[in-house]
Chain A
């Protein structure tokens, strides 16, 4: 069974640019969540999607957005990149229900220069 697939693995972008990250969940998992991980802040929740609808949103500025497609694949976009956006972005998929934990992808390492 394939795991959660994130692409690309590494990205280097310049301040002011925008970036799109992609996530394919485990087959049958309809909930997809995104997290930002940095050494100082740990894992910070960005948003969760289910059935193409955003169900939960974290405390990030509007520059961070996402969407989910009918096949449960998800993308997140960050516009007007800032140096502080440099982080590991993790996608996680889950079965529906609060008692199911996440399975994380390998992440996308974004560096903003």
Chain B
């Protein structure tokens, strides 16, 4: 079992729709969770972090965390073509600044 699992996609949504990206993790002791966006040919960029159960909103982005289910999600409202990228879920299992990444979900926002 992979430590951090994501559906590779591609996930296609029409412009203006809500995109829902999901991630599960195996280390129950993990405390901090991150979403990164990576455009083709670029390096990953941090877009959201979450540490407590529940929702955290930042502009069009909402991160959701359920530690009991070991599940993290990212919602993107009013999706734009510029949101087309690969979204990486990352988990810090503790013991330092080591992040374990999922393999990413490719999102395509279509006009």
Give A contacts to B, CB under 8 Å: 31, 33, 35, 41-43, 45, 48, 50, 55-56, 90, 94, 96-107
Contact = CB atoms under 8 A, between A and B. Distances in A.
B32 A31 contact: no
Contacts of B101: 35, 42-43
Interface in B78-105: 88, 90, 92, 94-104
B45 interface: yes
Contacts of A97: 97
Given A98-B31, A99-B51, A55 B96 contact: yes
A33 B103 CA distance: 18
A73 B36 CA distance: 24
Interface of B: 31-32, 34, 36, 42-46, 49, 51, 88, 90, 92, 94-104
Contact of A103 (B46, B49, B51, B96): B46
A105 B36 CA distance: 13
Query: Chain A interface mostly helix, strand, loop or mixed?
Result: strand
B46 to A, nearest CB: 4
Contacts of B46: 101-103
A70 to B, nearest CB: 19
A37 B42 CA distance: 12
A35 B43 CA distance: 11
A104 B49 CA distance: 15
